Structures are given as C-alpha cells and as structure tokens.
Amino acid sequence: MIRYRFSKDGDAKYLSHLDLLRVFDRAVRRADLPIEYSKGFNPRPKISFGPALAVGISGSGEYADMEFSDKID
C-alpha cells in the first residue's frame, strides 16, 4: 500500500469525488501499475480517499491510499 498527498486546485476543484477517483484509476492504468482490484461482479480499484471535498472547493493537502497487487520499485 502507498499513501500519497495531492492537491485539488485550478480547474480540478470542479471535479466531483467520483470523477477524481476515475482520474486516478485511469492514470494508474495508463502507467501500467499493478493496482489491486476488489473482488466481485464489478471490480473497482482499491483506492481510498480522505473526506471528500465539495465541488468548487480547492484543497492542497489531500491524502489517498492505493493498494498494489505486486511490489513495485
């Protein structure tokens, strides 16, 4: 698992919480990182964010956790 810090400012402050999840999911898939997915009928990436910011609110110290299926260097 990795914990990372990011900022949500500029035009990104207009993204909803679910849109932000999709952005990180696409970035991880494009980078070909071995992310862990949930089990079940509709697998979702195992990414957990801190409390959601309202749309239109910027934040400079947001945290999220991401789980990987393999060890990465």
Tens of pLDDT along 6-36?
999 999 999 999 999 999 999 999 999 999 9
- Within a domain: 71: no
- Within a domain: 58: yes
Q: Quick one: average pLDDT of 34-59?
A: 91
- Within a domain: 73: no
Q: Quick one: average pLDDT of 60-64?
A: 93
- Within a domain: 12: yes
| pLDDT value of residue 72 | 75
2 by Cβ neighbours in 10 Å (0-12 / 13-18 / 19+) ranks as: exposed
Read off the pLDDT band of 71 (50, 70, 90): confident
Q: How many domains does the chain have?
A: 1
- Within a domain: 49: yes
For 49, the enclosing helix (H) or strand (E) is strand 47-49
User: What residues make up the domain containing 57?
Assistant: 2-66
pTM for this one? 0.78
E strands within 1-73?
A: 2-8, 47-49, 59-66
